[in-house]
Structure 1
């Protein structure tokens, strides 16, 4: 479903073309990461469609037509008629009074994704905006002029009004943007930044303020970023499970293909198949092995598989929302109708993010339990307590991974605490006009936080399995990692060893954890095809 233009710039960065077809989650994430650039389609049919909607609105205004948010007030104020001479001022008032966001600012990566999501929706041709507006949003992305957008203040219907007001204001030369290459990290006045880029501040047409703000771009952009992280988490948690099973001298027959053929959840089967590829599932079970491993190893495909099985419908929900016209009212340029509805309601994204964070937090809990087994010499099949590598008299003063296990437990607990679905906390707002709202943006922000905490647990587990595999190999070298199917665990161990030294003496592990988090977020390891 990718519609990224295959052409490249002089520095081999691909272009994502808006208006040429549906965009994918990967397209948005490529723009967010700076590995792709935005371009607006110059196809005559596309440009003509955009112009037809704007021209139809102009004619309605000339004929004294009544259009919500164009000749009326907003929200519950829709019964207030705006005098014709004041209609041009209405968009300015909309983004001005919505300038009340608080909390941390969205990162530059998140802001690029937000701009891409809004441009995708407006390019559908049902929002009554001008080509000039679309070009201005594309220009912000092309010049990396990113509005400073506070993360808090949206209830997810009537869309992401308050955060998107910061985009509308910057398009018009107001508020602030992140500095570009020469002054990255600084806050720069939007008017100054636009002038430096050779751009002229917009004067919004009558419906354009509403079209920019009255949609689901923020929650959808965050959902695109969450999806990519969750997708990688499934594979990384599976590889960690394989290394944990090796560390614990576990029973690889728990992942037998016939066993999983009779409970045919495809994602669960895929996880089991990955584990089969990593471990020696075809070897006879040694008599001294425990017949059944504890649940956090034996049932790992059943836990990780829930998220793996959810990914296809999560993608469907997110990409449908991304490629939708979701402001209000919508303009039908072909039949010349103004359609009043509620497409700004972010219920699908809210449900997707509430569901994703639940499945992700369960993986954090699974890995936390695996770590608890590996560091406990009552359950780790003969390895030292806390996986300490210290020997002789020095073993008495070394504590290995004792504190790391406490930290992993804390991060897991915080992730689990955030699994309460945000969508059930709908609030009646705006004089009971917005009396049922989605909370989609809060759900998406929560999901990203759960992913962040889970990635911290993953970093702790990577140190743990790196240490555990090292100790198991020293203690029991008759089954070398390199002899396992495909040598995948050996390759992973080698990659981890390049970053993380064995813990023979206690040391501060925060630098190791931060390095591993960088690797996780860069998707540094190629895991499964």
Structure 2
């Protein structure tokens, strides 16, 4: 059980939460929550008009709500905002979204009671995850619709995925002997204002990208050896002279992966002067992508522990100040960075596949198959990779530069962070598919150099590929093998020990 300090979150902790680690807020955080709740009680008792506590919302913020209708106000807020549509968000995203909401509330500036914290924690403890429609937020006044669906489940409305079984929320609460949550002043707004859905979805894309990037380094190095390409472009002196940190790190990993390869040693003094850019410029291109991913990671780590609801309470002075921390522009930019980085990872991999299947470029059998003509080999898998690259490019236009005014013009600029996050997730899956095809092509190329062996590190990669996709001696259906390798890339099987820094 991890004890979470919302003021001290790092990427390693978020990675653990993403993979399902159990966690709860620290006692210090819970004390801050209780103190803020007391401030809300004092504000309500004092009769002052404060947005979100005893007023309407958005354009209706000028409407004062009498004390006897405050509970109705909070209930209606959640039900009216539970209007998302589309496919349910992945369980990893929902679980992380709830954890991030706990972190934000745990800073003690939102004014919820401890009973709200307990209700959210109970969902996590029982693996009872609200079904969250993935569409309906523009990432501006918080992720209103997704977070409303989360909150509605606590109140017994909507549906909950209980350990993989989707049931009415009221039924799950009954099974768990949990009373439906009755919201107090400010609590509904505190729960649905915030960037937690956008941030969780973008972190999901980022952690997938981390696994994909590790696989891209291994697939790329395997392709270099399959081509009998040169390792000289990965000389540390070249990267050191440029000084870009991602480039330096990528070149180092590629050197290590190729070290000890008998294939590399066999052409030490061959007449080839230069390899295509997709091979020799891997440190420069993948390194730039790595730098983007790490920039995104830094933004998301900050956002994970941020207070992003509205108004924000300062209990030392009993002030509730309306601001705009719910605007998810930093998250939108981060998601678009992940998308752009992965687009280049996939684009470069597809070019290496194209070189390997071209006998004029690779010196290997056409389409990496014997008895060409009767057999098409990897002709069409390269086409599949090209199709995925084209789709990635279509997703690469940044959502973060778009905006549609909402709420009768009150919310006149929005971030589109959830849309950016969804695109990043889609591009991650596509890129994993491209790398699956490159792994098959690289392994096939290595086979043609026998009895020369690749390095020990790449031999392990080759063996892992062959467990899911045997040597292609004659044409067969490859769709299931590609899909299996794609899942393995997304699952981290080919990432090695690669991790992003933050």
TM over 0.5: yes
Unaligned runs of 5+ in 2: none
Which stretch shifts more, 116-125 or 208-217?
116-125
**Match of 1:6?**
none
Deviations 1:105-124 (A, max 9, x none): 11222211111111111111
Q: 1:439 aligns with which of 410, 416, 423?
A: 416
**Match of 2:9?**
23
Give the RMSD, CA atoms, in angstroms: 1.8
Question: Offset of 1:284 from its aligned partner?
Answer: 9.8
The answer as to 2:345 corresponding to 1:363 is: yes
Q: Looking at both structures, which has the greater relative contact order when contacts are Cα pairs under 8 Å and sequence separation is at least 6?
A: 2
Pair 1:528–1:201, CA change in 2 (3 A)? closer
**Match of 1:38?**
23
Determine helix, strand or coil for the equivalent of 1:17. Answer: strand
- Conservation of the 8 A alpha-carbon contact between 1:40 and 1:135: no
**Match of 2:75?**
92
Pair 1:502–1:441, CA change in 2 (3 A)? same
**Match of 1:107?**
90
**Match of 2:286?**
304
The answer as to 2:364 corresponding to 1:419 is: no
Q: 2:407 aligns with which of 414, 430, 434?
A: 430
The answer as to 2:439 corresponding to 1:462 is: yes
The answer as to 2:25 corresponding to 1:48 is: no
Equivalences for residues 260-275 of structure 1 within 5 A: 260-275=239-254
- Conservation of the 8 A alpha-carbon contact between 2:213 and 2:495: no
Equivalences for residues 273-352 of structure 1 within 5 A: 273-279=252-258, 286-352=268-334
Unaligned runs of 5+ in 1: 1-14
Q: What is the count of residue pairs matched by the alignment?
A: 495
Deviations 1:22-52 (A, max 9, x none): 3334434433433x113233x2x43332122
Determine helix, strand or coil for the equivalent of 1:146. Answer: strand
Deviations 1:385-433 (A, max 9, x none): 1101x34xxx431111111111111011101110000011111111111
- Conservation of the 8 A alpha-carbon contact between 2:350 and 2:389: yes
TM-score (norm 1): 0.90
Pair 1:396–1:46, CA change in 2 (3 A)? closer
Question: Offset of 1:517 from its aligned partner?
Answer: 2.1
Question: Offset of 1:213 from its aligned partner?
Answer: 0.3
- Conservation of the 8 A alpha-carbon contact between 2:32 and 2:108: yes
Question: Offset of 1:20 from its aligned partner?
Answer: 6.4
- Conservation of the 8 A alpha-carbon contact between 1:278 and 1:489: yes
Q: 2:470 aligns with which of 481, 501, 506?
A: 501
**Match of 2:190?**
211
**Match of 1:177?**
160
**Match of 2:49?**
66
- Conservation of the 8 A alpha-carbon contact between 2:89 and 2:132: yes
> In 2, Cα distance between the equivalents of 1:257 and 1:202?
59
Pair 1:122–1:387, CA change in 2 (3 A)? same
**Match of 1:4?**
none
> In 2, Cα distance between the equivalents of 1:302 and 1:310?
13
> In 2, Cα distance between the equivalents of 1:309 and 1:135?
39
